[in-house]
């Protein structure tokens, strides 16, 4: 199978009630289930930041999930996406939670 699929990298920051509600764990699981690479981290300001990389269509699915789904007990007020760019190969491997 040729890997001609376009790869995309995307940064995100999610605002709302997203800390202490397993948001990072669910984000990691969702990213892995979509076959994406990336990381997720809590900020001191109460938001969650991270980066995802992978096939463009899967990254779009993850964007939707981050903005509209999240963890069961989270409340997402706002999702900000930035630095979306095409990449020639994955710069990250696996999906992890950073501290």
**pLDDT, tens only, 39-70:** 999 999 999 999 999 999 999 999 999 999 99
Q: d(Cα 63, Cα 61) in Å, to the nearest integer? A: 5
Q: Is 24 designated active site?
A: yes
Q: d(Cα 73, Cα 88) in Å, to the nearest integer? A: 36
Q: Is 32 designated active site?
A: no
Q: d(Cα 71, Cα 19) in Å, to the nearest integer? A: 10
Q: Which residues touch 42 (CB under 8 Å, ≥6 apart)?
A: 19, 24, 48
Q: Is the pLDDT of residue 90 over 60?
A: yes
- Check if the beta carbon of residue 65 is closer than 8 Å to that of residue 81: no
Which of the residues 24, 58, 78, 83 is marked catalytic? 24
pLDDT of residue 4: 65
pLDDT-derived band at 3 (thresholds 50, 70, 90) equals low
- Check if the beta carbon of residue 83 is closer than 8 Å to that of residue 77: no
Query: pTM value?
Result: 0.93
């Amino acid at each position: 199978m040729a890997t001609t699929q376009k790869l995309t990298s995307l940064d995100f920051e999610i605002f709302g009630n997203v800390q202490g509600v397993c948001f990072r764990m669910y984000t990691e699981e969702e990213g892995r289930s979509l076959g994406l690479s990336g990381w997720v981290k809590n900020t001191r300001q109460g938001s969650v930041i991270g980066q995802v990389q992978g096939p463009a269509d899967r990254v779009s699915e993850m964007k939707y999930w981050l903005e509209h789904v999240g963890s069961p007990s989270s409340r997402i007020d706002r999702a900000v996406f930035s630095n979306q760019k095409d990449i020639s190969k994955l710069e990250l491997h696996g999906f992890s939670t950073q501290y």
